Amino acid sequence: MDYYVIKGGKKLKGEVKISGAKNAALPIIVASLLADGETVLKNVPDLMDIRTVIKVIEYLGAETEFDTVKNILKIRVNSIKNSEMPYELVKTMRASYYVMGPLLARLGEADVSLPGGCAIGERPVDIHLSGFESMGAEIKLEHGYIKARAKKKMQPATFTMRQVSVGATANLMMGAVLTNGKTVLENCAMEPDVVDLGSFLNKMGAKITGLGTERIVIEGVKKLNPVTYAIMPDRIEAGTFLLAGAITRGDVTITDCVPEHIQSLIETLIYSGFNLEVNKDRVRISNGKSLKGFMVKTLPYPGFPTDLQAPLMSVATTIPGISVIIETIFENRYTHVGELRRMGADITIEGNSAIVKGTKNLMSAPIMMSDLRAGASLVIAALAAKGATEIRRIYHSDRGYEKLSEKLSALGADIKRVKGGTF
């Protein structure tokens, strides 16, 4: 497996263009199944998760053509050939659940294998299923598969999610667009990724209002049409590069971004003492004169994103004083802490809170990624550490960061991707 070797201590300088948003692209690619014909998606990032979801829709009957140089994905749909998603395709990515909405909308049935290690009460798949049940689907769990059947066409309904869920909001929207009547979803996710999906569906001919609010209303239509659509910029990648600039005390400008989408991060960095210049589609970060600790709590949008919690913690380890980070979205999202401690970080975990005492210098160490966002935090930490840090299992970062090492190198980082190895 490939691994990174990063020699820390170099201040990052320059501009970096932000790629298309993975978390918007995934459901939008799946939503293309709702219309026959050719859909053209622009600004699609070349990531492992994107390639996985392409395999998913191809299995269901779509034909695709992905230009990874121009980041254009063409999807041709004539008919849906399968309503079953086998374990081999689902196991690597929970977002495969997104196929349930389009399959139920078009075919009235969907069989989706449970991912390995997944219980229905976790991350929270049960909200998807309860929502589909409210639209008339019967849900059964048989032989490791969730089997959903709608005897008639999916029916309009009013459904309140027991907690905010980005995935359920997206899935239920897709399931409702072809119903005969009005569906009302309450306690919806307001994330930009959900808004982007809704905008895509509306361009296809759907009638969705309330995007970006807690109440989304879908007026069912008879048919959707294929369109050309550009995926929005990735706010998590944008935030990650700002944090890379912060930890190296460099001068980094991110371009082709939407600053409003990372406002909570921008405010945190300004509070901590970094200099930020915010324009329409770019943000510049440079070092401040007197940095200080901060307190952050992860919350659904527009609150601080859980996906930036780990990278922010790496920066906190280098800021004088005490910083407190409270994780409220996911359990077990402090897997990066042990690796940061190996690099000299002073972090104490109390329940869902991390208390970080700033240190002057992180030290290089052999470390290992445990997941996508934890992996980003380790890369950021290595950029500031003394010596050469080897980071293993970097396939995690390939899931969510397009050309990460190339973009960092262009900013002046000393990072090499080494092929092979036995770890």
304-343 tens-digit pLDDT: 999 999 999 999 999 999 999 999 998 778 999 999 999 9
Q: Same domain, yes or no, for 91 and 163?
A: yes
156 belongs to a structural domain: yes
Mean pLDDT of 206-214: 98
Residue 266 has pLDDT above 50, yes or no: yes
374 belongs to a structural domain: yes
d(C-alpha 273, C-alpha 359), whole Å: 16
56-91 CB burial, b ≥16 within 10 A, e <16: bbebbebebebeeeebbbbbbbeebeebbbeeebbb
Residue 118 has pLDDT above 90, yes or no: no
187 belongs to a structural domain: yes
d(C-alpha 317, C-alpha 394), whole Å: 22
Q: Same domain, yes or no, for 170 and 315?
A: no
Neighbours of 171 (CB within 10 A): 28
Residue 124: exposure state from Cβ atoms within 10 A (0-12, 13-18, ≥19): middle
Q: Same domain, yes or no, for 303 and 398?
A: yes
CATH of residue 166's domain is 3.65.10.10
d(C-alpha 58, C-alpha 75), whole Å: 9
Q: Of 183, 208, 230, at which residue does a domain stop?
A: 230
326 belongs to a structural domain: yes
Q: What is the pLDDT of residue 138?
A: 96
> What 3-state class would DSSP assign to 255?
strand
Handedness of CA 152, 157, 162, 163 (dihedral sign): positive
Q: Same domain, yes or no, for 55 and 13?
A: no
Q: Same domain, yes or no, for 8 and 153?
A: no
pTM, to two decimals: 0.95
Q: Same domain, yes or no, for 44 and 89?
A: yes
Q: Of 185, 212, 230, at which residue does a domain stop?
A: 230
Residue 419: exposure state from Cβ atoms within 10 A (0-12, 13-18, ≥19): exposed
Q: Of 180, 211, 230, at which residue does a domain stop?
A: 230
Q: What is the pLDDT of residue 365?
A: 96
Could you tell me the residue range of the domain that residue 277 belongs to?
A: 3-18+233-418
Q: Same domain, yes or no, for 196 and 49?
A: yes
Is 257 one of the catalytic residues? no
Tens digit of pLDDT for each residue in 348-401? 999 999 999 998 789 999 999 999 999 999 999 999 999 999 999 999 999 999
Tens digit of pLDDT for each residue in 48-86? 999 999 999 999 999 999 999 999 999 999 999 889 888
> What 3-state class would DSSP assign to 325?
strand
383 belongs to a structural domain: yes
56 belongs to a structural domain: yes
Q: Same domain, yes or no, for 211 and 243?
A: no
Q: Does residue 195 contact residue 23 with C-beta atoms inside 8 Å? A: no
> What 3-state class would DSSP assign to 233?
strand
423 belongs to a structural domain: no
Q: Same domain, yes or no, for 211 and 303?
A: no
Q: Same domain, yes or no, for 196 and 315?
A: no
How many structural domains is the chain composed of?
2
Q: Same domain, yes or no, for 225 and 255?
A: no
User: Can you read off the two tokens belonging to residue 393?
Assistant: 């299992």
Q: What is the pLDDT of residue 331?
A: 78
d(C-alpha 199, C-alpha 151), whole Å: 29
Instruction: Please state, for a pLDDT cut of 70, what percent of the chain lies above it.
Output: 97
203 belongs to a structural domain: yes
Q: Same domain, yes or no, for 30 and 165?
A: yes
Among the listed residues 5, 40, 118, 184, the single catalytic one is 118
d(C-alpha 3, C-alpha 67), whole Å: 26
Q: Which residues contact 143 (CB under 8 A, 6 or more apart)?
A: none
Residue 261 has pLDDT above 70, yes or no: yes
